[in-house]
Amino acid sequence: MGKLLMLMLEGTFTSLRIFFLTLLFALPLGLLVAKGRMSRHRIISSLVNGYIMIMRGTPLILQLIFVYFAPYYIFGSSADRFTAVIIAYVINYAAYFAEIYRGGIQSIPQGQLEASSVLGFSKIHTFSHIVMPQVVKRIMPAMGNEVITLVKDTALAQTIGVAELFRVAQNAAAREFSTMPIFIAGVFYFVMNAIVSKSFDRIERKLDYYR
């Protein structure tokens, strides 16, 4: 039992690495994608829109397999498994985040941008000090949902052989002819997501000082 828990903690560590690395890259990349999606240049915005549609319109598991195997067929070699997972998750989640950002950015009343312009603020200052702080508040609930989904999606990494929590649990279950490890993994995911949603609640409360 002690050994099983050790293994599962190791798997959890891998899951958490996927989780945090994905957020680390997908959160800023999503903002860039959102900017591209809202670009006045037709070509840029439709290219970015195509990318978003593919990312949201096909299963993550398929994208994962594609990112891992496509380079192999084209260049004769693949990225290592873990890197492939991070790349696939980042480009997938960046697309979802981008749409959330876009909704948030477009919900800021035009009048505030006009006020900002008349007061002489630069575009950068307007975006970073007027728009984004309000966007962050508005998108928190949607982001919370997405991040919770990400915790559960880390389980897909096993598709290309990365030993994250769920894979470890399944292996143990097969070895010991018991479904117990799988239920324990369930508890792990539940706890991680409890922490995620508590964190989001706290951030939302923190941002409650204005309406």
Partner 1 sequence: MAVITVEQVKKSFSTLEVLKDISFSLEKGEVLSIIGPSGSGKSTLLRCITNLETVDSGTITIGGDTLVTTTDQGSAVYADKHTISRIRLRVGLVFQNFNLFPHFSVMRNLTEAQIHVLKTPKDEARQVANELLVKMGLADKATAYPYQLSGGQQQRVSIARALALKPQVLCFDEPTSALDPELTGEILAVIKELASEHMTMMVVTHEMAFARDISNRVIFMDDGLIVEQGSPEDVFAKTQNERTKRFLNRFGS
Instruction: Name the site residues for partner 1 (rule: CB under 8 A).
Output: 109, 111-112, 114-121, 125, 129-130, 133-134, 137, 209-211
Q: How far is the CB of 124 from partner 1 (least distance, A)?
A: 10
Q: Among residues 88, 44, 28, 33, which one has the least CA distance to residue 64?
A: 88
Residue 179: phi, psi to the nearest 5? Answer: -90, -5
Q: Which residue has the tokens 């989640």?
A: 93
* Nearer to partner 1 among residue 131 and residue 168 (C-beta): 131
* Nearer to partner 1 among residue 12 and residue 116 (C-beta): 116
Q: How far is the CB of 107 from partner 1 (least distance, A)?
A: 12
Q: How far is the CB of 147 from partner 1 (least distance, A)?
A: 23
Rounded Cα–Cα distance for residues 41 and 183 (Å)? 50
* Nearer to partner 1 among residue 67 and residue 131 (C-beta): 131
* Nearer to partner 1 among residue 126 and residue 158 (C-beta): 126
Contact 189, 152 (CB under 8 A): yes
Cβ within 8 Å of residue 160, ≥6 positions away: 64, 65, 68, 81, 84, 85
Q: How far is the CB of 85 from partner 1 (least distance, A)?
A: 37
